[in-house]
Amino acid sequence: MDIANFIQKFFLYLLPGIFGLIIFEHLTPQKERHYYKEFVFSFILSFVSFLIVDILISLFNLLCPKSTVQPLNIVAYISNMQGVIPNGIFFASCIVSIIIALFLIKCDYKQWLFKLAKKLKLSNRNDNLSVWESIFENDPVVTLRDNITGNTYFGTVTSISDNCDKREILFENVRVFSEEGDELFAANTLYLSRNHNEFTIETQKEGTHLAEHHGETK
């Protein structure tokens, strides 16, 4: 087999995993990228997808002995890169890859792996989120003190930027107070962009309002 034919077959094998990887990366918090990890992820995801399709075809053939559909035998295919991946198996593997990616996204969002590890006493971590991400997961109602203007913002955080030096925050139902404690204005939505060291964030106990800290009775 010449190198061009090998690359073509290998790329076709990787495509289901690449589709799953794209969906996974778009629907999970972005972290530092490592291309070798993405390659390994795509390779394994493709292998598992083709393997599941092979198993499903084998089970189908057991139930329907007259079936003419044959599994690919993905292990043999990877070993020598011989033969052709049938269109039906390829598209079925793409669908399986997307389903697996969606399941992994759910696992990542619910932190099932860390919960299982904690239950088995293998780790005491609750998640793999950064402090920037986890603070809003625990309590989206925050008090933000702006070191640039001296203003204080009290409201519900509905969206944040990635964990980078420039932080973007979108508030809902926010009240803005001056440095002296006077309420300046209230807004349904408010966008704030600051460098990571230009503000501080505090969370309040449930039912506590910033106005109470300033002696108000609203």
State how far the Cα of 101 lies from the Cα of 104, in Å rounded to an integer: 5
State how far the Cα of 53 lies from the Cα of 23, in Å rounded to an integer: 20
* Token couple for 94: 């793409």
Domain that holds residue 24: 3-119
Instruction: Check whether residue 90 and residue 177 sit in a common domain.
Output: no
Q: How many structural domains compose the chain?
A: 2
Q: Give pLDDT tens digits for 54-64.
A: 999 999 999 99
Contacts of 149-158 with C-beta under 8 Å, sequence gap 24+, read: 150/178, 150/179, 151/176, 151/177, 151/178, 151/179, 151/184, 152/176, 152/177, 152/178, 152/179, 152/210, 153/177, 153/190, 153/192, 154/204, 154/209, 154/210, 155/190, 158/189
Which of 67, 95, 119 represents a domain boundary (last residue)?
Answer: 119
- Please indicate whether residue 164 or residue 30 has the higher confidence score (pLDDT): 164
Instruction: Check whether residue 72 and residue 165 sit in a common domain.
Output: no
Q: Is residue 150 part of a domain?
A: yes
- CATH number of 150's domain: 2.30.30.100
What local confidence, expressed as pLDDT, does residue 103 receive? 96
| Percent of the chain surpassing pLDDT 70 | 87
Instruction: Check whether residue 90 and residue 154 sit in a common domain.
Output: no
Q: Give pLDDT tens digits for 119-145.
A: 888 877 666 666 777 777 777 899 999
Average pLDDT, the chain: 85
Q: Is residue 125 part of a domain?
A: no
Instruction: Check whether residue 107 and residue 178 sit in a common domain.
Output: no
Q: Is residue 124 part of a domain?
A: no
pTM for this entry:
0.67
Instruction: Check whether residue 76 and residue 149 sit in a common domain.
Output: no
